Structure 1
């Protein structure tokens, strides 16, 4: 940075004072006028003093030069000092900025490290839990020790459990479904089943039994069947409480399937009073109530629940005492004879 020096004007040399004679009172009259004229003529020829040239004083110029030189050196020194101070400030600012950046990087790195550590611990714990659970489930700690059979009425639950004894000792997740199915196929009354594992040692088998709807008479005896025609049991004597089914075409015919559907739609108290069911086609189902009771013309299996309701009301009506035939094939217009 340079300073602007202010130059001073050179000092002028002193000017010698000029002596001026005092003016005298002018005489009056002709004589005075003549003398004045002579005096003016004489003044015109008077010599003047020489004019001295004005020069700047040499010592003062030298002093100003010295002062200017000193001021320039001071400016240069101050500029160099300013440059040194400026570079030092920049270096200190850069160093402070680097320290701040390093501190931020360390703080961010520590936070990220803590976050990764938390995730690692959580995932590790979850992995240990999963592996431990799977390992325990497939270990003898969860082996089958007891088999329970539920939902049986006609079946012997003990016999079913005995058929599944080969599953005892196996871990619950390793129970063989195909082996269970093969064991239950030997029980015709089993319509469906489900298996439930109750840790740590219980295996529960829930059975849905087939519903017997009637019996078929053959040379082998009386065979109890369900609505699908599946043979459930065979005995030499006719079982009580089930109607005798007489159809054309066997258990695979449309007539038999229609009779089975009609019998399943009957309420339990009404089905127990049916002694026989006959059909030649799917449209002419007939039922016999009691040994020699009234005949019920049912027709097809359409609207069977509604037909059963209408029949129950008719059996409790005033005409039931002497009625021999109930025609409910058209349930909206029942005919009683």
Structure 2
């Protein structure tokens, strides 16, 4: 804006023009201020114009809804920045924990997926623990499991295949990644043969028939008990035979029993051993070995009471 021009003054008369210089030249003390003040009040020449608003100033505008929204948004943004600054450490710890958990889950998931994939399929089956049985025959019976992932080997099918071999008492499967499956078996221990019209049946201590032949197998004693394989006498005889020392077991030719408490053994040397019940069989075996060494020509040894062996 431009500064306004001073207001025009009224024309002066000749007398006023002559008096004006005199009045102006010699103003009285105290009248200068009053004259100036009057001039300002009357708006005469020499007074300052009224103040004008500075260039660019405008009248205040009312606050709009958009301004309030912008201010609120700026405040929320500043608040979020402060929260992030103060929670930076906890967020870093949370990220580390989540990353670790994710890595573990990924590792476990990958391992499980690989275990059930063809990457770990069975390519070789090994049978361990077979002495009487032929391992190659057992491996051929389990050939259906070849190509199956180790984690998906069907134990019921393995059991069904091994049931065809009565000599197997127990078995266990061992997976050896990436491609090997080991079958550990425990063979039944024969205690002797039972003679019948069908021939000689090889049995273990549980009375399970392992094989039947027309002739008595070499090295297997003849078991003669009352009541058959389901009687207490047979159970006691089986426990006694399994407790014998190896040298005595190799010389055993016959086992007889009418009850569970009168098991009697016959050796190839002609020695008769009265064993009694199956109780304290481990101690009786030690006493029998010692007594046989001390009495090589004995005809009979009674170890029914192992603390007092009777030699006959």
TM-score by length of 2: 0.72
The one of 210, 216, 235 equivalent to 1:232 is 210
User: How much has 1:103 moved relative to structure 2?
Assistant: 6.6
Contiguous gaps of at least 5 residues in structure 2: 1-77
2:301 corresponds to which residue?
A: 326
1:316 corresponds to which residue?
A: 293
1:163 corresponds to which residue?
A: 141
2:85 corresponds to which residue?
A: 107
What do the CA deviations read for 1:214-264 (whole angstroms, capped 9, x no partner)?
Answer: 111112211111111111111122111121100111111111111101000
The one of 169, 179, 184 equivalent to 1:201 is 179
The one of 130, 134, 139 equivalent to 1:152 is 130
2:234 and 2:280 map into 1 onto residues whose CA distance is: 17
Pair 1:122 & 2:100 matched: yes
1:166 and 1:335 map into 2 onto residues whose CA distance is: 58
1:303 corresponds to which residue?
A: 280
1:168 and 1:259 map into 2 onto residues whose CA distance is: 43
Q: Which has the larger radius of gyration?
A: 1
User: How much has 1:104 moved relative to structure 2?
Assistant: 4.8
Greater mean deviation of Cα atoms: 115-124 or 264-273: 115-124
* C-alpha distance 313-120 of structure 1, shift in aligned 2 (>3 A): closer
2:272 and 2:94 map into 1 onto residues whose CA distance is: 84
SS of the residue aligned with 1:320? coil
TM-score by length of 1: 0.67
What do the CA deviations read for 1:15-41 (whole angstroms, capped 9, x no partner)?
Answer: xxxxxxxxxxxxxxxxxxxxxxxxxxx
Matching of residues 76-115 of structure 1 within 5 Å: 104-115=82-93
Runs of 4 or more, structure 1, over 4 Å off, are 100-104
2:309 and 2:90 map into 1 onto residues whose CA distance is: 85
